[in-house]
Amino acid sequence: MNTNKTILLVEDNPDDEALVLRVLRQHNLTNEIVVARDGVEALDYLFGTGAHAGRDLRPPPQVVLLDLKLPKVDGLEVLRRLRADPRTRSSKPNLKWTRPIRDRRECGW
């Protein structure tokens, strides 16, 4: 993969974070990997607010590995905001299901 394409990992569990990072390294990815540990941190990174104010927003992350069960702001709300904003609509979220989803419309499908 191209080194200028970022992967955003949104994960609050340190064991799951370590597992994902290990798998990505085993596949020799050269992408920059940014880790956000809650929904607020993820949104701050994606939209250049809070701790990430002033961050260059272009290009958005190529892939977002998104846990749905997150503190502060849950993954479904992060997903809704990703899809609602034209700046991040091209990011490809990959969802980590931590609970059954009764209706796919709950996730915007």
Tens-place pLDDT, residues 11-47: 999 999 999 999 999 998 889 999 999 999 999 999 9
Coil, helix or strand for 48?
Answer: coil
For residue 26, being part of any structural domain is answered with yes
For residue 14, being part of any structural domain is answered with yes
Residue 31 sits in a domain whose CATH number is: 3.40.50.2300
* Better-scored residue on pLDDT, 50 or 3: 50
For residue 84, being part of any structural domain is answered with yes
For residue 2, being part of any structural domain is answered with no
pTM of the shown model: 0.81
Closest CA to 78 of 87, 89, 90, 66: 66
For residue 76, being part of any structural domain is answered with yes
Contacts of 55 (CB under 8 A, 6+ apart): 45, 48
Q: Is the peptide bond before 86 cis (omega within 30 degrees of 0)?
A: no
* Better-scored residue on pLDDT, 43 or 1: 43
The string of pLDDT tens digits covering residues 75-91 is 889 989 988 988 887 77
The mean of the pLDDT values for the chain is 83
For residue 78, being part of any structural domain is answered with yes
Domain count of the chain?
1
For residue 1, being part of any structural domain is answered with no
Domain span holding position 75? 7-107
Alpha carbons 98 and 83: distance in angstroms, whole number: 21
